[in-house]
């Protein structure tokens, strides 16, 4: 039966039944709130202990030097380190050496991580390629990288390029080994399910392998950033005329051990800052994924 215009108008004017309000979301349980509080207290305790150990180390270092328990000419002391920092800053050398070492480290770390991740993807993609390259990866990983220093210097010259290549080489190998191991740990059943659903290899990689490997890739970044510092300092030992590694070598040669300890302290601070930048990135990524 056809509806008349009057019926349509009357149906439009008819008020709809009031919708039932949705059920309220369950409140956070007291146990969960207590757990979060315990977690915050634990984190604060960890940070407090880390700072306490650092302060105690610095205090004992200075105290033992003042009492003559240790020879400050050999191991320096915190106040002597501060004086050396002030002298380097006044001469304008401090940030020049820091900037050069940071540039070399960031360049080697960035390029090495990208190249290493790409090679790891290719080795996961092709099992044949993985079997071909596997023995070479094992040998390069076990080989002391300083042994390659003279060869790299001959290949690319005695300059900043050689130092970056040294850091790049170490970072690349570490990244390949770590990321590829993460790829290979992904459940074979998940990959089989994707193939059963008609997914190709690229879809399997983008939808399963890569998302599941994010923690592994971040772990590789943490390892790589430390190894990049090792590569840069080794390179600066061999060829550099500037940078923190050069200051360490120069200070040792002229028996300015305050300069050596100052350079080591700066290296520790910079390496820690880069590591915590990666850790901050990890926290943000995990929060975005709903895992933080």
pLDDT at 198: 80
Average pLDDT taken over every residue of the chain: 83
pLDDT at 145 over 80: no
DSSP string, 60-109: HHHHHHHHTSS-HHHH--HHHHHHHHHHHHHHT-HHHHHHHHHHHHHHHH
pLDDT at 82: 92
pLDDT at 265: 92
Mean pLDDT of the 43-58 span: 92
Mean pLDDT of the 283-288 span: 79
pLDDT category of residue 8 using cuts at 50, 70 and 90: very low
pLDDT digits (tens, 9 = 90+) for 239-259: 878 888 889 988 888 888 889
pLDDT category of residue 13 using cuts at 50, 70 and 90: very low
Mean pLDDT of the 22-29 span: 56
116 within 8 A of 179, measured Cβ to Cβ: yes
220 within 8 A of 175, measured Cβ to Cβ: yes
**What phi and psi, each to the nearest 5 degrees, are found at residue 243?**
105, 170
pLDDT at 116: 92
Closest CA to 109 of 278, 217, 223, 224: 224
Mean pLDDT of the 59-72 span: 89
Question: pTM for the whole thing?
Answer: 0.76
pLDDT at 5 over 80: no
Per CATH, the homologous superfamily of domain 74-288 is MetI-like (1.10.3720.10)
pLDDT at 216: 85
Neighbouring residues of 258: CB distance < 8 A, sequence distance ≥ 6: 76, 80, 81, 83, 84, 251
pLDDT digits (tens, 9 = 90+) for 118-142: 999 999 888 898 899 888 888 888 8
The whole-angstrom distance between residue 81's C-alpha and the CA centroid of its chain comes to 28
pLDDT at 54: 92
Cα–Cα distance, 218 to 289 (Å, whole number): 14
Cα–Cα distance, 224 to 174 (Å, whole number): 6
pLDDT at 161 over 80: yes
């Amino acid at each position: 039966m056809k509806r008349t215009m009057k019926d349509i108008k009357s149906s439009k004017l008819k008020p709809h039944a009031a919708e039932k309000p949705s059920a309220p979301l369950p409140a956070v349980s007291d146990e969960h709130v207590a757990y979060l509080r315990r977690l915050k207290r634990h984190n604060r305790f960890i940070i407090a202990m880390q700072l306490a150990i650092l302060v105690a180390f610095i205090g004992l270092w200075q105290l033992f030097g003042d009492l003559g328990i240790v020879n400050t000419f050999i191991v320096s002391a915190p106040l002597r380190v501060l004086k050396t920092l002030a002298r380097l800053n006044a001469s304008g050398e401090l940030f020049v050496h820091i900037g050069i070492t940071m540039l070399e480290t960031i360049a080697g770390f960035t390029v090495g991580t990208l190249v290493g991740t790409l090679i790891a993807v290719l080795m996961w993609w092709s099992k044949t390629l993985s079997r071909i390259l596997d023995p070479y990866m094992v040998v390069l990983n076990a080989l002391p990288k300083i042994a390659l220093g003279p060869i790299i210097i001959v290949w690319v010259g005695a300059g900043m390029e050689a130092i970056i290549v040294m850091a790049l080489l170490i970072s690349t190998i570490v990244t390949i080994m770590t990321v590829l191991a993460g790829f290979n740990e992904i459940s074979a059943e998940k990959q089989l399910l994707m193939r059963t659903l008609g997914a190709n290899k690229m879809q399997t990689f983008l939808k399963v392998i890569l998302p599941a490997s994010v923690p592994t890739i971040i772990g590789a970044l943490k390892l790589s950033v430390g190894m990049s510092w090792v590569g840069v300092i080794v390179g600066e030992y061999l060829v550099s005329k500037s940078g923190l590694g050069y200051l360490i070598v120069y200070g040792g040669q002229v028996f300015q051990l305050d300069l050596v300890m100052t350079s080591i302290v700066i290296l520790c601070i910079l390496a820690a800052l880069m590591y915590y930048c990666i850790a901050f990135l990890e926290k943000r990524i995990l929060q975005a994924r709903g895992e933080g």
